[in-house]
A and B are shown apart, each in its own frame.
Chain A
Amino acid sequence: MAQHKRIQNSNQPTPVLDRQQAVPALIPNPTDFLVVGGLAGAAQELCALTNDGPNVYGLGGAMGAATTMGLGPALAQPHRRVLAITGDGELLMSLGSLATCAVLNPPNLRIVCVDNGHYGETGNQDSHTGLGVQLDKIAAGSGIPTVFTINTEAEIPEARKILNAETGLCFILLRVKEGSALKVNRSLDPAFTRNRFRMALLGRP
């Protein structure tokens, strides 16, 4: 099969982590956060980790939404930690959202990108990160104050500390192999999940 050429000066190690182990290891406490999960793997994983819990708004479309959608509750709920979790394909579509978040710099927002280097939902085509584009460098260049990259299991405890620290906008790049995400039978009704999220947080739909 014909393929794009890799970017020559990219020096990232080959991904070794399995997302089905790495994501729960990074986020063992998903109910501690208000979560916006981007399509498709990231939303599926956080829904699976919470058994389709009310604190997760999992997107099934609106590609590119997750990071700026996470900014909304971060600003509205300054005393809650908000996790915007996305994939490489979605984040590549909304790179500017990193700049928008960095300028606002909400101390309670955590951005995690599960980067498998592929468009997993559409036939596993190489994404730009799979060809060498480095989202951690883009996040740092956007002005996100704390950027951390996970290539191996050894880095997960440090990343977990950053994610759970009291304050500080951060971006964590979790580099994983190709492979399916954890899944649960989750509601794909965007209005139902909106009302469920608000009922749990605010006591009203």
Chain B
Amino acid sequence: MSEHGEVTGGATWPDELYDLLRANGVTQFAYVPDAGHKVLINRSLADPDAHSISLTTEEEGVALAAGADLGGGRAVLLMQSSGVGNCINMLSLTAGGRFPFLTFVSMRGDFGEGNPWQFQMGQATQKVLEAMGVIVVRANEPDEVIKVASAAITMAYHSGMAVAVLLSQRLIGAKKF
């Protein structure tokens, strides 16, 4: 992985994760860009059978995911932990409507963070999600991403739960300062 927290080199889980999501019927990939999601974003842009949806703020993705479900589709929201704070009130739609919801959150303010500005939201991310009714699971190591993602997909799309997969800075690498 690069020094910018960008998953590169030998990491195979981002491509495997994209394939897993597509195999489970996800066609709407919504995101505010983050280096940790670069592979998924690029794969969705190159995929003629998927929609790659660049958001101006993360809460749009919460509403979009509920709308996708209304239409019989499946969406995922890719965001950085700082974006979780932008979603708080919109998650009342997810919880109240019992909409299935799946988000992958690349963490900042976490393991090895070098920018003090990131800690407030990073350390509050799990609490905020849980306060709004989102189940939180975490992947720390490359070889557990697919197992954790598979569990989250089942919880979201088969049981109709709201689930966040936190991708630790141990996994995606801490940005160097």
Contacts and interface: CB of A to CB of B under 8 A. Distances in A.
Contact of A96 (B57, B66, B97): B57
Interface string B56-71: 1101111111111111
Given A97-B60, A100-B56, A104-B53, A59 B71 contact: no
B51 A64 contact: no
Interface of A: 34, 36, 57, 59, 61-66, 68-77, 80, 82, 94, 96-97, 99-100, 103-104, 190-191, 193-194, 197-198, 201-202
B80 to A, nearest CB: 17
Nearest to A201: B72
A72 B64 contact: yes
Interface residues of B, number: 32
A59 B93 CA distance: 9
B96 A190 contact: yes
Given A65-B63, A94-B60, A75 B71 contact: yes
Given A72-B68, A202-B72, 17 more contacts: A61-B96, A62-B63, A62-B92, A65-B62, A69-B66, A72-B67, A72-B69, A73-B67, A75-B68, A76-B71, A77-B71, A96-B55, A96-B56, A96-B60, A97-B56, A97-B60, A190-B98
Contacts of B72: 76-77, 198, 201-202
B78 to A, nearest CB: 14
Contacts of A96: 55-57, 60
15 contacts: A65-B66, A65-B90, A68-B55, A72-B71, A73-B67, A73-B68, A75-B71, A77-B73, A96-B56, A100-B56, A104-B53, A190-B93, A191-B97, A191-B98, A202-B72
